[in-house]
Chain A
Amino acid sequence: MFKLIVKMAWKNSFLRLSRTLLVIIMIAVSMSMMLGIQGLYDGMADTMIDKNRRSGSGDVSIFAKGYRVNKDLQYRIKNADELSAEIKKIEGVKELVLRVKAEGLLSTARKSSFASMQGIDLRAEESFGDFSEFLKEGEINLEGQGALIGLELAKRLKVTIGSKLVFSTQDSSGEINSIALRIRAIMQTTNIVLDTNAIFIDAKKMHRFLGTDSSEATQIAIMTADKKTNDLLKANFSDLDVKSFLQLQPMMKQMQDVMIIFNSITFFIVMTVVFIGILGVMYVSVLDRIREFGIAMGIGMQYRYIRIQICLEALFVGFIGYLGGALLGALFLLYLRDYGLDLSAFSDALEMWGYASTIKGTIKISYFTTTFAAIISASLFSVFIPLRKIKRLNPIEVIKAEK
């Protein structure tokens, strides 16, 4: 009997072909749009988080205790080279870099601003986070007086490639010291803190300038394979200040949460549309065939078989719509992942908020699984009202009505 009911449900689903196709197209198009929007929202968040990780803290950063509060060189990690060798031995540690930072005043002949100067090892930064990808303008070259400057800081000081600057800060002996620099490149990391405050010079020069030893660092940034490694690092170096990415950048977590809320709202709206679409087509379809159901009940077909048939009809429509939507959505997401959405026209506003002007999409399996579950549920919920209509149906009324 079940085979016959499946056949009846399948054939009845396409009895009014244009009506059913319209609903399937509606589901497919709205679902693919939703997947695209989800991919873009997540892509925005993921890109920002990824760039922040690569340019800043990594998955975990280690500081000397007291450094993050005081930002004073006396709170530096003195045996950073030994420590980094020890950290590298831990399974799950992928990459690490040592950085020396000092906060001070960066001045041109006419303007000055607070800045955070970072001594970096270019090769290590490249391996750690593809540092060269952040190049906006100029050439990455830290030789001689060479320095790299964050985009927003460069705008604030009105400097360009070749501009001369002086950075002044307190060195490790407590004396005020200055260094003359020449801008070789402007960097855009989309990490707001770096773009608005950072200037990068060679780590060796930074050590000489600050009077610190090359084995010392103010920060050890680490890329890890998983959260377990992060926990292990925290446990192994409890005498130091070990912080995860989200602890250091709680705004990123908030941004992720905001994106989840946006995605949920979009998801809810689209699923409501899908639900109403299937409900509409099922209700009209049942009304069209009310006589058929009445007669079927009249000759002895039990309500439970009709219920299965109607549920299957809704599932067929929902599932085919889902397949179409998944296919279109996957194509849309692949395009967004590979080529992105070019919003260069709004680059100033986007960069101000730390976003790249071309937003690339993300693809997650969960987009397809949650949508599948939601469409199947929407399909099943949509038959409640039509089924109530049939349940209340008295076969004799139908039989009398046809006479």
Chain B
Amino acid sequence: MIRLEKVNKYFYKGEPREVHALRDIDLNIEKGEFTLFSGPSGCGKTTLLNAIGALDSIDSGQIYLDDKEIGSLNEEERTRIRLEEMGFVFQAYNLVPVLTVEENIGFVMRLRGFSDEEIKQRVLEVASMLEIDNKLQTLPNALSGGQQQRVAVARAVAGKPKIILADEPTANLDSKNSKALMDMMKELNKKEEISIIFASHDDYIMENVRRVVTLNDGRIVDV
């Protein structure tokens, strides 16, 4: 489903402070896989996640999503790929503060042009699964951190993306909420057959994913 071939990424290229963030990365991620990018801080796990998520460009190599090369797309095409194929969960939740939980969950679906009926049905389904169906008319700032992160997950999942990318999704959560989130993601992975990639150094996540890709100094050192 996702294939990376000789992917290289530099920061401050050509400058004295140049950083070689990703070095000849070759990687395959199959449909429905639950993968964790692990490694010490600065090892390149977030950079790799952003490259796969079409958020960041690469300097050489290829990234294929279902045999479509996405590494060399322009910004507009990358935006479209992110909208239609991917779901994102960020460390800081990043919900739209002026929209209700229901509207936040349905936001990506609206961008993708789903009908009102489809959105309503899917939002209810996902909200029930994540146990936030009693908060649908609430504004995000009235929710706890754990609840906000569930809304963020619901937003990422609602549009039925092929892949969900989550960068340190448990960093702002306590252990109880981290565990709950991880359990929900596992369930989603199982029920919806969505590929999930986490970038994290949370031990609980490491223990609960099927596959751990360890990076060090921009290289994959263990798969």
Min CB distance B138 to A, Å, is 15
B10 interface hit (Cβ, 8 Å): no
| B99 near A403: Cβ-Cβ < 8 Å | no
A301 interface hit (Cβ, 8 Å): yes
Contacts A/B (CB < 8 Å), 28 sampled = A1-B113, A7-B99, A7-B103, A8-B98, A8-B99, A12-B98, A15-B97, A295-B90, A295-B94, A296-B96, A298-B88, A299-B83, A299-B87, A299-B88, A299-B108, A299-B155, A301-B79, A302-B80, A305-B111, A396-B50, A399-B50, A399-B90, A402-B91, A402-B92, A403-B46, A403-B91, A403-B167, A403-B168
A292 interface hit (Cβ, 8 Å): yes
| Chain A interface, DSSP helix/strand/loop, else mixed | helix
Count the A-B residue pairs with Cβ separation under 8 angstroms: how many? 74
Please indicate the chain A residues that have their CB under 8 angstroms from the CB of B108 in the complex. 299-300
Please indicate the chain B residues that have their CB under 8 angstroms from the CB of A291 in the complex. 94
**Contacts A300-B79, A302-B79, A402-B91; is A4 near B103 (CB within 8 Å)?**
yes
Please indicate the chain B residues that have their CB under 8 angstroms from the CB of A302 in the complex. 76, 79-80, 83, 111
Min CB distance B116 to A, Å, is 9
**Contacts A7-B99, A396-B56; is A300 near B90 (CB within 8 Å)?**
no
Q: B residues engaging A (CB < 8 A)?
A: 46, 50, 55-56, 76, 79-80, 82-84, 86-88, 90-92, 94, 96-99, 103, 107-108, 110-113, 155-156, 167-168
Please indicate the chain B residues that have their CB under 8 angstroms from the CB of A297 in the complex. 79
Chain A, Cβ-Cβ closest to B87? A299
Min CB distance B104 to A, Å, is 10
Q: Give the one of B91, B94, B97, B156 with max A CB within 10 A.
A: B94
User: Residue-by-residue, is A324-349 near B (CB-CB < 8 Å gives 1, otherwise 0)?
Assistant: 00000000000000000000000000
Q: A residues engaging B (CB < 8 A)?
A: 1, 4, 7-8, 11-12, 15, 291-292, 295-303, 305, 395-396, 399-400, 402-403
| A300 near B94: Cβ-Cβ < 8 Å | no
Docked Cα-Cα span, A305 to B110, in Å, equals: 11
The 9 closest A-B pairs by CB, nearest first: A300-B83, A11-B98, A295-B94, A300-B82, A396-B56, A1-B110, A396-B55, A402-B92, A299-B88
Q: Which of B46, B84, B103 sits near A300, CB closer than 8 Å?
A: B84
Additional pairs, 19, CB under 8 Å, beyond known A298-B90, A299-B107, A299-B108: A1-B111, A4-B99, A11-B99, A12-B98, A292-B94, A297-B79, A299-B83, A299-B87, A299-B155, A299-B156, A300-B83, A300-B108, A300-B111, A302-B79, A396-B50, A396-B56, A399-B50, A399-B55, A402-B94
